[in-house]
Amino acid sequence: MEFWIIFSLAAMFANAGKILVVNRLCHEVDSRLLVLCGRLVSTVLLLPVLIIVNKAFPLEIKFWVVVIVTAVVTAFASVLFTEAVKKGKLSCALPMQALVPVFTLLTLFIVTRQSPKPLSILFMIISMAAVAYTLYQSGKEEDKNNGRFIFTVYSVIAAVLFGFCTFMDKVAIGSVVNGALAYSACWNLVSSAIMLFENIRTKDIVKIFVKENALPVGLYSIATLIAFYSQQYAVQKALLIEGSVVNVKSIVMLHLPMIMIISCFLPGEKPSRKILFGGLAAIFAGILLIRSIL
Domain range for 173 is 3-292
pLDDT at residue 224, as a whole number: 96
In sequence order, what are the residues at sequence separation of 6 or more whose Cβ sits closer than 8 angstroms to the Cβ of residue 111?
167
Whether pLDDT at 170 is above 80: no
Per residue in 96-130, pLDDT tens?
A: 998 888 888 787 777 767 677 888 888 888 998 99
Structure letter (DSSP) for residue 89: -
Whether pLDDT at 145 is above 50: no
Taking residues 31-59, report their average pLDDT. 91
CA angle 16, 241, 124 (to 5 degrees): 55
pLDDT at residue 67, as a whole number: 93
**CA within 13 Å, CB half, 261:** 8
Sorting pLDDT into bands at 50, 70 and 90, what band is 175?
Answer: confident
**155 or 4: which leads in pLDDT:** 155
d(CA 93, CA 11): 20
In sequence order, what are the residues at sequence separation of 6 or more whose Cβ sits closer than 8 angstroms to the Cβ of residue 209?
none
Mean pLDDT (the chain, rounded) = 86
- What is the sign of the dihedral through the CA atoms of 170, 174, 175 and 181? positive
Answer whether 223's CB lies under 8 Å from 17's CB: yes
Taking residues 13-32, report their average pLDDT. 92
Nearest to 103 by CA among 150, 66, 65, 158: 158
d(CA 43, CA 225): 9
Q: Which of 74-83, 135-144, 189-198, 246-255 comes out lowest in average pLDDT?
A: 135-144
d(CA 154, CA 118): 30
d(CA 269, CA 260): 9
- How far is the CA of 11 from the CAs of 97, 121, 133, in angstroms? 16, 27, 28
Answer whether 269's CB lies under 8 Å from 91's CB: yes
Taking residues 247-273, report their average pLDDT. 85
Taking residues 124-140, report their average pLDDT. 86
Taking residues 51-56, report their average pLDDT. 88
Kindly report whether the global pTM for this prediction surpasses the value 0.85. yes
Our count of domains for the chain comes to 1
Per residue in 237-259, pLDDT tens?
A: 877 765 556 778 888 888 999 99
